[in-house]
Chain A
Amino acid sequence: MSAHLAAPAPARGHRGRRAARSRRDAQAQGDRRLGYALVAPVIVLLLAVTAYPLFYNLWNSFHHVDLSEAGAPQSFVGVENYTRMFGSSVWVSALERTIAFTAVSIAIETLIALVLALMLNRPFRGRGFLRAAILIPWAVPTVVSATLWKTMFDPRAGFVDYLLGGLHLPGAHTTWLAGVWTSWAAIFVADAWKNVPFMAIILLAGLQVIPGEIYEAARIDGASAWQSFRRMTLPLLKPALAVALIFRTLQAFLVFDVIYIMTGGGPGVSTETLSFLNWQTFLVATDFGYGGAISVMLVLMSLAIAAVYVRLLRPETA
């Protein structure tokens, strides 16, 4: 420090400095306040459509709220709605169906999506076209996918029976939406057709961040194609796979539109899921107390699934 130009100490006194600092603090505080103000609308709007319904449901679930009994008082009923729900074979079988549908769809969809993603990850002529082709089913409304497959499965106007007949395969004269299993099959196809592309796109993005060199390195190390898929691709794909799985798991668990449109829960009640039951309790039975209890359970189960997701993907701002 021999030669630096020694400047005289600043003439400003401590008081001046402190005043400047408090001004700066105020400015920083102002910045922070502005930040909150900018985030507030999102929070308020989202609270209005989530927290408000949640607490309203919670309150309703401990009361008797039935709009069909005009003018009836909303009496406190304790946990009656919950005991009714847990004791109801309708609710229990809806839960079972929902879980079964979710498990089966997710398992099959993941496999198909993985194959699609691997195909799209390979450069070939027509790759862009294939990607656009699978994106359209994802982007159209569920009303379109459900109606479209309802047409496809129609015994007269549909293509499925026509194809099976043409190939002399069994099932050529099936009225698909009249049977329990065949209805589920049709619902599954319509649902998978619309949702597999989403999984495929997420998995593709996961594949694309895997550096190509590691495959070359693995090949030099003597790995076969299958081995490098097993030992390189799958482990490295895990984060994307987790995202795709949990997004889709929640969607499938809350399935409603496609069922309403294709089967209306029928034949009988054989395709009623939890969401469908919840809707029916609210808007057909107008029983908002019992519906509230179903909703609260639905929220809790979804949160449990979502919690896994958030755990896996903690936001990176620390």
Chain B
Amino acid sequence: MSASAAEAGRVPASRAAERRRRRLPRGAALWREIGFYLLVLIAIAVSLFPFYWILRTSLATNAEIANGVESTGLLPSHLSFKAYVDDFTQQHFLKPLINSAIVALLATAITIVVSTIAGYALARMPIRGSGLILGFILIAGFFPVLAMVGPLFLLFKELGVLDSIYPLILAYLVYTLPIATWLLRNFFSQIPRDLEEAALVDGATRLQALRKVVVPVAVPGVFTAAILAFILAWNDFAFAVSFLETPPHFTAPLAIVNFGQSNFQVFYNRIDAAVVIITIPIALLVLFAQRRIVTGLTAGSFR
């Protein structure tokens, strides 16, 4: 589906480029063109400039920040990496980073295993009431997170697992499972049944057909689901702020919010350095898997 969409986009693109080469726009068309690119520039600036701003702030000293922007202007007067060092030495940011990585990766792993087999079954097996099941999974994705917080808090308290990152994984499944299951179910339905049947006729057992044909073909879908699940789990704040109590157990987002609160003075540079640090993996993921994310978002949500 993504390939055909991309193809559809590419063909007119080359044609338009050709047209552009042949004659430059004049008059009203020229102004329209200028207006369009102005809009593009604004959109890019609004999206990316704030990132520059926190990068700039993170590289400034606290004194500079206290003097206000007017004193330095848009560019930092000099680069100071002290805030980054402070994050790890003073704020002990490494532990929360590791915590976040652990929960996000574990939640992703569980999500992938569970939603792959469920997605396959929902797409391929004779399940009575599969429409109902899909509807439930969809609605579960809309369940108000803050309404879950109270009962889960009581449960975790009862079990004595409050202030631990591992119970978070269970809660994170409410973010990840619905979209992953839907996405994979749609993905498996798109794999022609013929492929499995051809493998059976070629002498494969059902398990072999699954292992040697269906799974390899499904890899892109599974990969997409994994990326989305990781992003969703990595980004959580609501559950972390509800169930975690002591800094060594914090996830990275929760730790950042508490940077400001643990001091009388607001260290914008330290906070923003931490923001830069947790943004980097996500930004890289977006850059490398842009097309997959777009496919996943659209395939998981409608059709």
Contacts and interface: CB of A to CB of B under 8 A. Distances in A.
A193 B49 CA distance: 12
Contacts of A165: 70
Given A123-B12, A148-B53, A282-B150, A42 B114 contact: yes
Contacts of A296: 147
Query: Which of A45, A291, A298, A309 is packed against the most chain B CB atoms within 10 Å?
Result: A45
Contacts of A50: 140, 143, 148, 174
B69 A162 contact: yes
Given A50-B148, A124-B36, A261-B237, A151 B268 contact: yes
A307 to B, nearest CB: 8
A32 B128 CA distance: 8
Interface of B is mostly: helix
Contacts of A247: 301
B170 interface: yes
| Interface size of B as a range | 35 or more
A274 B215 CA distance: 44
A32 B271 CA distance: 53
A122 B278 CA distance: 33
B294 A152 contact: no
Contact of A317 (B120, B134, B154): B134
B181 A42 contact: yes
B225 interface: no
B142 A309 contact: yes
Contacts of B66: 156
A131 B294 contact: yes
Contacts of A178: none
Contact of A39 (B121, B150, B293): B121
B48 A303 contact: no
Contacts of A261: 237, 257
A36 interface: yes
B282 A141 contact: yes
Nearest to A197: B47
A90 interface: no
B146 to A, nearest CB: 4
A164 to B, nearest CB: 11
Contacts of A306: 138-139, 142
B50 interface: yes
Contacts of A136: 47-48, 51, 279, 282-283, 286
Contact of B278 (A137, A141, A278): A141
Nearest to B118: A42
A310 B44 contact: no
Interface string A114-126: 0110010011101
Interface in A246-282: 247, 250, 254, 256-257, 260-261, 275-276, 278-279, 281-282
Contacts of A197: 47
A135 B54 contact: no
Given A46-B173, A148-B275, A158 B69 contact: yes
| Interface size of A as a range | 35 or more
Interface of A is mostly: helix
A162 B147 CA distance: 40
Query: Which of A140, A256, A288, A310 is packed against the most chain B CB atoms within 10 Å?
Result: A140
B13 A318 contact: no
Contacts of A143: 235, 237, 253-254, 256-257, 275, 278
A317 B131 contact: yes
Given A157-B69, A159-B53, A310-B139, A60 B151 contact: yes
Interface in A193-216: 193, 197-198, 201-202, 205, 208-209, 212
A275 B142 contact: no
Contacts of A275: 144-146
Contact of A152 (B37, B53, B153, B298): B53
Given A41-B117, A131-B294, A46 B127 contact: no
B235 A282 contact: no
Contact of A46 (B17, B53, B174): B174
Given A53-B151, A141-B253, A208 B127 contact: no
A157 B171 CA distance: 36
B8 to A, nearest CB: 7
A48 B147 contact: no
Given A151-B271, A151-B272, 13 more contacts: A39-B133, A46-B137, A54-B143, A57-B150, A130-B40, A134-B47, A139-B283, A144-B275, A154-B268, A197-B47, A278-B150, A302-B143, A302-B144
In the A-B complex, list the 9 residue pairs whose CB atoms are closest, starting with the nearest. Answer: A35-B125, A123-B13, A56-B151, A295-B147, A38-B121, A143-B253, A141-B235, A205-B298, A53-B151
13 contacts: A28-B126, A35-B126, A46-B137, A46-B140, A122-B36, A133-B47, A135-B293, A144-B278, A208-B9, A275-B144, A283-B153, A310-B138, A317-B134
Interface of B: 5, 8-9, 12-13, 16-17, 36-37, 39-40, 43-44, 46-51, 53-54, 57, 65-70, 114-115, 117-118, 120-122, 125-128, 130-131, 133-140, 142-155, 170-171, 173-174, 177-178, 181, 231, 234-238, 241-242, 253-254, 256-257, 268, 271-272, 275, 278-279, 282-283, 285-287, 290, 293-294, 297-298, 301-302
